[in-house]
């Protein structure tokens, strides 16, 4: 006889009134239902934005103090954490260890379902110590568990271990906070729980819950990277051009910002400037906008914590005093 795990009350397990007869619908009608339900996801994040902000503050503090952001989840939740982590280095020029994701069942679970991998909290506790790079949690780290239905034992094992090491902990789910058991809530500093409602296909949290997860993870890491000086305006500038696509992007970034500053620079001149910096966009921008040497740009970029705009302002302020 199947064990009653008592999950039937969770909103992620309820049936959606909007799709009760979806199996009788045409292709276009199915798409209309799914699309209308997907639109709920963005609005569902609005009531929890203060909690997203609190979580992001934890992450920024961690980054500034040498800590890491570590995602943990099972199934879709784990894959989305690993996805967001893997996109941070090419987008923001950070070390691959800064944001990491672990998933129940290991990296094989990224490609196929590993049945039962999520059922053991002790495995989560072990993985969060051993799978991360370098191994071993530190108090400076932030650990975010993702379990849209709240119950995943693997994730709660991760959070319990993280809390025991003094880490800040974040928990993402798509159900009511009271669905978290008290002993689990004790291991969590902030809960982020957008309520997206029942899924179009009952229990398929790869759908609306997955969409809400992706929205929140993007918001946290993108905002944290902005706070760490990884953009100039809304342009990602902490990048090095390693291939033809990035070479073209780097040149366009230089020329776009130059135009905004009423400067004129050709593609050839922008490429020559970038070549002097080993194709690093940040110092090239400072050299252009502050009319300084690479040595001066590098020095001020370091003293300003990697913020391009602050470095330019600091150089100009020094010159005005001279």
In Å, how far are 23, 116, 117, 144 from 120, measured between CA atoms?
35, 8, 7, 18
Nearest CA among 252, 248, 268 for reference residue 260 = 252
Asked whether 187 and 157 are in contact (CB, 8 A), the reply is: no
Alpha-helical regions (H) of the chain: 27-45, 49-64, 75-92, 121-130, 153-164, 182-185, 208-227, 244-260, 267-276, 281-290, 294-303, 308-321
Which residues, listed in sequence order, are joined to residue 70 by a DSSP beta bridge? 100, 143
Evaluated on CA atoms 38, 42, 43, 47, the torsion sign reads positive
145: helix, strand or coil: strand
Is 87 annotated in the active site?
yes
Q: From CA 219, how far away is CA 100, in angstroms rounded?
A: 16
Nearest CA among 214, 68, 83 for reference residue 128 = 68
Nearest CA among 224, 228, 223, 229 for reference residue 286 = 229
Catalytic residue among 57, 87, 129, 313, which? Answer: 87
**Residues 6 or more apart whose Cβ sits within 8 Å of residue 90:** 239
Is 118 annotated in the active site?
yes
**Residues 6 or more apart whose Cβ sits within 8 Å of residue 279:** 240, 241, 242, 247, 250
Nearest CA among 102, 101, 98, 94 for reference residue 65 = 98
| Residue numbers annotated as active site | 87, 118
């Amino acid at each position: 006889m199947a064990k009653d795990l008592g999950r039937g009350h969770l909103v992620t397990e309820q049936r959606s009134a909007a799709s009760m007869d979806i199996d009788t619908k045409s292709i276009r009608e199915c798409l209309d239902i799914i699309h209308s339900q997907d639109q709920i996801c963005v609005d569902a994040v609005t009531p929890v934005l203060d909690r997203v902000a609190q979580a992001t503050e934890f992450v920024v503090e961690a980054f500034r103090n040498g800590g890491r952001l570590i995602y943990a989840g099972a199934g879709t939740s784990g894959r989305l954490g690993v996805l967001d982590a893997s996109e941070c280095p090419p987008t923001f020029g950070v070390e691959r260890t800064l944001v990491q994701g672990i998933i129940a069942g290991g990296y094989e679970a990224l490609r196929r379902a590993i049945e039962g991998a999520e059922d053991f909290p002790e495995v989560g506790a072990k993985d969060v110590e051993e799978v991360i790079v370098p191994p071993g949690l530190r108090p400076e780290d932030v650990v975010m568990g993702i379990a849209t239905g709240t119950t995943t034992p693997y994730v709660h094992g991760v959070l319990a271990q993280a809390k025991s090491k003094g880490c800040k902990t974040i928990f993402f789910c798509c159900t009511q906070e009271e669905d978290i058991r008290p002993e689990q809530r004790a291991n969590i500093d902030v809960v982020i729980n957008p309520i997206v409602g029942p899924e179009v296909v009952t229990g398929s949290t790869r759908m609306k819950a997955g969409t809400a997860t992706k929205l929140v993870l993007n918001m946290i890491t993108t905002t944290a990277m902005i706070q760490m000086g990884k953009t100039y305006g809304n342009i990602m500038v902490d990048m090095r051009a390693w291939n033809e696509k990035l070479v073209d992007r780097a040149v366009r970034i230089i020329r776009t910002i130059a135009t905004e500053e009423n400067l004129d620079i050709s593609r050839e001149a922008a490429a020559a400037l970038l070549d002097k910096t080993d194709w690093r966009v940040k110092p090239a921008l400072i050299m252009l906008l502050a009319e300084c040497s690479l040595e001066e740009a590098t020095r001020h970029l370091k003293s300003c914590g990697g913020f391009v705009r602050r470095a330019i302002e600091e150089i100009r302020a020094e010159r005005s005093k001279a």
